[in-house]
Structure 1
Amino acid sequence: MLDDFLIRAALAGVGVAVAAAPLGCFVVWRKMAYFGDATAHAAILGVALSLALSTSIFVGALAVALVMALAVSTLSERRYAIDTLLGVLAHSALAFGLVAVSFISGVRLDLMAYLFGEILAVTVTDLVVIWGGAALVLALIGWRWSAMLTATLNRDLAYASGIDPRREQLILTVSLAIVVAVAIKVVGALLIAAMLIIPAATARPISKTPEIMAALAAVIGAASALLGLRLSFLYDTPTGPTIVCVAALLFAASNLLGLARRSA
């Protein structure tokens, strides 16, 4: 079954959606959209370093994404203007990554594949990495769900309950770096943030509880991946951007449904 490239692509898309969905909910609740963007952009620098050092792309992307996420978390706690900080770091990391790639000689690199994804070229090894990363992220989120939710809703309440918000932020940061590392092959560095945010934002108007929102986000993300893959195959369009376009259309439909419910 895994010999079929479309089956591998579908499994990869669903794996990324399952990993990104609950994490995306926390990104939406904490208003961390640019945080995810900065971490994703940094992954390109990780790709360049991996190729230069002849190491695993996953390891390089994970390491640099984690460093970026930790740096942003640390600096934001020291009262730096977070929007300015993220703007500087996101674009700087992407620029340094693209420049670093140009210095690599003797390596054939399809830069577009890392920027916009190459889901149709996913291998069985990639699937193992993607689903292994998804399982790890789900385990972390499941383990700390209540604590992370409390820290997200009210820091003072978290402290009163014996929960350290900084520890929960660290777990969220590590999870985000893992998702970026496993998703870069599927949707690319420029579209990872979209797959984190759009399914969660789509689920928000039609969800009554945080748990329902996370579950719906996973379903919406998986549906976007499968439908986007199908449309890309039928109309010969770029797969990663097509997946994001489907997610955006579902977001519009969800918000229209929410407006209709409120006006009824």
Structure 2
Amino acid sequence: MFDDFLFRAALAGIGLTFATGPLGSFVVWRRMAYFGDATAHAAILGVALSFAFGISVYLGTLGVALAMALTVARLSGRGHAMDTLLGVLAHSALAFGLVAASLQSGLRVDLSAWLFGDILAVSRSDLAVVWGGAAVVAALLAWRWQGLLTATINDELAMSSGLDPRREQMALTIALALTVAVAIKIVGALLIAALLIVPAATARQFARGPEAMAAGATGVGIASVLLGLWGSLQFDTPAGPSIVAASAVLFVLSLPLRRAR
């Protein structure tokens, strides 16, 4: 059964949600949606550079995504309008990535897979990378959980508690870059931010605490993966977008819960 491509796809998607669920909660709490977009769009440049220099796509994507995240984090405190800065960097990185990819003939055909994901082509080695990366992200967030929560509430509160808000921001930056690197083959650069945000926004409708929201976001993510793969199989639609579409449907269905509460 392990050789079945659909089973591998489900395993990869489920493994990814253990990173995107808790991390997506912080993205929602901190209003970092555009931050995630900028990091994810930069991943295409990482893919192009990886093929150009003959290195692992995961390593190349991680390096570029981390560089983008660190750049945004460094510049955000220097008086630049955050949304404008992120917009410029996100679209510039995506444009340079597409231009670099167009210069490589072997990459042109496969580019859509990196933009929108190709979860059905996940191999055993990809599974190891996804689960290993998700485990590192989950462990990092668990280790810094209380500090991240405190810094999310208020920087002054964090400093009065002996915490450095910049260190907590750095932990999130590293977690986000690593998540982008392992997620790009599953849902693609254009849909990674959606998989981070939509399940967390859904879980927020019924969660009664931070930990409950992180767990709920993971659960919604798993349901989205399974429903999306089922829909992709039934209606012959792209798997990555189908997963995000399923997540969006679950979000819409969750809205009455908030009104009822």
Does the alignment reach a TM-score above 0.5? Answer: yes
CA distance in 1, matches of 2:104, 2:9: 29
Aligned pairs (5 A) from 1:1-264 = 1-106=1-106, 109-261=109-261
Identity score, percent: 65
Which digits, 9 at most, give the CA deviation of each residue in 1:42-63, with x for residues without a partner? 0000000000000000000000
More displaced stretch, 67-76 vs 109-118: 109-118
Amino acid at match of 1:127: L
Which digits, 9 at most, give the CA deviation of each residue in 1:25-44, with x for residues without a partner? 00000000000000000000
CA distance in 2, matches of 1:134, 1:77: 29
- TM-score of the superposed pair, with normalisation by structure 2: 0.98
CA distance in 2, matches of 1:244, 1:37: 15
Give the drift of 1:142.
0.3
Aligned length: 261
Give the drift of 1:108.
6.3
Which digits, 9 at most, give the CA deviation of each residue in 1:158-203, with x for residues without a partner? 0000000000000000000000000000000000000000000000
Which digits, 9 at most, give the CA deviation of each residue in 1:140-169, with x for residues without a partner? 000000000000001111000000000000
Amino acid at match of 2:42: A
Q: Where do 4+ consecutive residues of structure 1 move more than 4 Å?
A: 106-109
SS in 2 for 1:205: coil
**Structure 1 residues not aligned, in runs of 5+:** none
**Structure 2 residues not aligned, in runs of 5+:** none
Distance of aligned partners of 1:156 and 1:107 in 2 relative to their CA distance in 1, 3 Å threshold: closer
Give the drift of 1:244.
0.5
SS in 2 for 1:183: helix
CA distance in 1, matches of 2:95, 2:42: 9
CA distance in 2, matches of 1:106, 1:7: 29
Q: What RMSD over aligned residues (CA atoms) do the two structures have, in Å?
A: 0.9
CA distance in 2, matches of 1:81, 1:3: 49
More displaced stretch, 75-84 vs 252-261: 252-261
CA distance in 1, matches of 2:75, 2:2: 44
Decide whether the 8 Å contact of 2:50 with 2:56 is kept in 1: yes
Distance of aligned partners of 1:79 and 1:9 in 2 relative to their CA distance in 1, 3 Å threshold: same
SS in 1 for 2:144: helix
